């Protein structure tokens, strides 16, 4: 930080010492990943979350005289971060990011609806960036476990909420804050927070039974086998083998394309129209949103290089794939760097 002072600091307004630079850096390091995840849930964007965490720490540094060390540093930073998110949402054209366009029916066959680059699409979140849940452990009043509150479907669902409802639900039901603490952060009364929570839970209840995603089977060796079979099918260019891994009622989304598909036959019909566009595929296992994911590199006909082509986020359920979200070009390759993956595959060629 360019305006950071030396190690000796004046006293704050309450008589306590103002955080010096080393103490401030220790504090921000402790909370960085948890705050980034909170900003991601608020915004639906990995890149916006990065920017807002930086903004949070800059504001915290400049306003550190107001923090005397007697309150919770976690609460202080979450207050700054949440308000930064709310301000950022007000400043942008859309209050939320989407995983699919509302009311658009599923497609059949070739993707005909076209690219929707003008829309704000929900982005995936690398598991490598998930926080260590020590200080970030949800409070006793949290309604959601951390594992389900980071899933792609959950983040997509809360994007449907107005910003204040979204913040109230995240603070109370995900982080376990009390309504009083949340009201102090957001401004307003406890009653207004409880009212926002009630409306938010009702909206989620329309999408999920009892206001939450259906519980999926916990990660187990069966999930590992499913991932291995998925990678093998793609690397062998085995379309039928890939489709066989889907549930009969599976859904498939592919931001930034408007088209989406429901059911194994429909998904097969789409992939049959595009499967031969590349000479072959290479697949690399990763994880996103607490779910298995695969980065696909593809080689075009008459070209030697395997280039980043798409990032696949898999929702497994009882040994099969219930939902598949594939971030394709131009969105897919841009995400590879965030997952620590190179733009061109340089691994084994077979």
How would you classify the pairing of strands 260-262 and 280-288?
unpaired
Q: Tell me the pLDDT band of 189, cut-offs 50, 70 and 90.
A: very high
pLDDT of 97 reads: 92
Residue 11 falls inside a structural domain: no
Q: What percent of the chain has pLDDT over 70?
A: 87
**Domain co-membership, 181 together with 303:** no
Q: Which two tokens stand for residue 115?
A: 């690219």
- Which residue is it, tokens 């040994």? 319
**pLDDT tens by residue, 251-308:** 999 999 999 999 999 999 999 999 999 999 999 999 999 999 999 999 999 889 999 9
- Residue 311 buriedness (CB in 10 A; 0-12 / 13-18 / 19+): buried
Domain that holds residue 300: 219-337
Return d(Cα 42, Cα 97) in angstroms, integer.
Answer: 10
- Quickly count: other Cβ atoms within 10 Å of residue 346's Cβ: 9
**Domain co-membership, 49 together with 185:** yes
Residue 350 falls inside a structural domain: no
How many separate domains does the chain show? 2
Task: Say which CATH number the domain at 308 has.
Answer: 3.10.450.50
**Domain co-membership, 195 together with 53:** yes
- Please state the rounded mean pLDDT for residues 188-212: 86
pLDDT of 20 reads: 83
- Which residue is it, tokens 């059949």? 108
**Domain co-membership, 239 together with 322:** yes
**pLDDT tens by residue, 129-159:** 998 754 456 666 788 887 789 999 999 999 9
Q: Which of 104-108, 204-208, 284-288 has the lowest mean pLDDT?
A: 204-208
Report the number of secondary-structure helices (H) and strands (E) in the chain: 11, 6
Return d(Cα 26, Cα 306) in angstroms, integer.
Answer: 41
Q: Which of 38-47, 201-210, 247-256, 336-345 has the lowest mean pLDDT?
A: 201-210
**Domain co-membership, 79 together with 193:** yes
Average pLDDT, the chain: 87
**Domain co-membership, 118 together with 191:** yes
**Domain co-membership, 148 together with 256:** no
**Domain co-membership, 313 together with 255:** yes
- Quickly count: other Cβ atoms within 10 Å of residue 238's Cβ: 14
Return d(Cα 323, Cα 291) in angstroms, integer.
Answer: 11
Rounded (5°) CA angle 45-34-28: 110
Q: DSSP 3-state assignment of 99?
A: coil
pLDDT of 7 reads: 40
**Domain co-membership, 324 together with 230:** yes
Task: Say which CATH number the domain at 48 has.
Answer: 1.20.140.160
Q: Which alpha helices (H) appear in the chain, and where do they start and end?
A: 21-43, 46-62, 73-91, 152-158, 163-169, 179-186, 190-207, 221-235, 239-243, 264-274, 331-336
**pLDDT tens by residue, 57-98:** 999 989 887 776 656 888 899 999 999 999 999 998 887 899
Q: Which two tokens stand for residue 315?
A: 């929702």
Last residue of some domain: 178, 205, 232?
205
First to last CA, the chain: 47
Q: Tell me the pLDDT band of 219, cut-offs 50, 70 and 90.
A: low
On whether the CB atoms of residues 274 and 310 are closer than 8 A, the answer is no
Question: 306: alpha, beta or left, given left = phi > 0 and alpha = psi -120 to 50?
Answer: beta
Q: Tell me the pLDDT band of 172, cut-offs 50, 70 and 90.
A: very high
């Amino acid at each position: 930080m360019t305006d950071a002072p030396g190690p000796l600091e004046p006293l704050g307004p309450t008589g306590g010492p103002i955080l010096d630079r080393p103490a401030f850096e220790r504090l921000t390091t402790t909370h960085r990943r948890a705050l980034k995840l909170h900003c991601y849930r608020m915004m639906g964007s990995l890149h916006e979350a990065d920017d807002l965490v930086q903004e949070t720490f800059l504001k915290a540094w400049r306003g550190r005289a107001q923090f005397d060390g007697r309150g919770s540093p976690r609460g202080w930073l979450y207050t700054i971060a949440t308000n930064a998110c709310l301000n950022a949402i007000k400043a942008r054209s859309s209050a939320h990011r989407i995983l699919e366009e509302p009311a658009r029916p599923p497609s059949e066959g070739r993707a005909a609806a076209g690219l929707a680059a003008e829309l704000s699409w929900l982005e995936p979140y690398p598991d490598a960036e998930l926080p260590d849940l020590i200080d970030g452990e949800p409070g006793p009043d949290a309604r959601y476990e951390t594992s389900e509150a980071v899933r792609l479907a959950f983040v997509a669902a809360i994007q449907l909420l107005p910003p204040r409802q979204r913040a109230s639900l995240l603070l109370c039901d995900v982080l376990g804050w009390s309504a009083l603490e949340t009201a102090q952060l957001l401004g307003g009364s406890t009653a207004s927070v409880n009212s926002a929570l009630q409306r938010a839970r009702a909206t989620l209840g329309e999408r999920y039974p009892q206001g939450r995603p259906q519980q999926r089977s916990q990660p187990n060796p069966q999930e590992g086998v499913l991932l291995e079979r998925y990678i093998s099918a793609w690397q062998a260019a085995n379309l039928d083998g890939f489709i066989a891994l889907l549930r009969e009622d599976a859904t498939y989304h592919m931001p930034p394309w408007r088209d989406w598909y429901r059911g194994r036959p429909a998904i097969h019909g789409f992939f049959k129209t595009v499967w031969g566009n590349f000479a072959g595929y290479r697949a690399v296992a990763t994880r996103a949103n607490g779910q298995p994911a695969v980065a696909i590199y593809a080689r075009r006909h008459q070209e030697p290089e395997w280039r980043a082509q798409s990032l696949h986020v898999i929702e497994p359920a009882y040994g099969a794939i219930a939902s598949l979200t594939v971030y394709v070009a131009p969105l897919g390759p841009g995400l590879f760097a965030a997952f620590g993956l190179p733009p061109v595959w340089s691994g084994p060629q077979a």
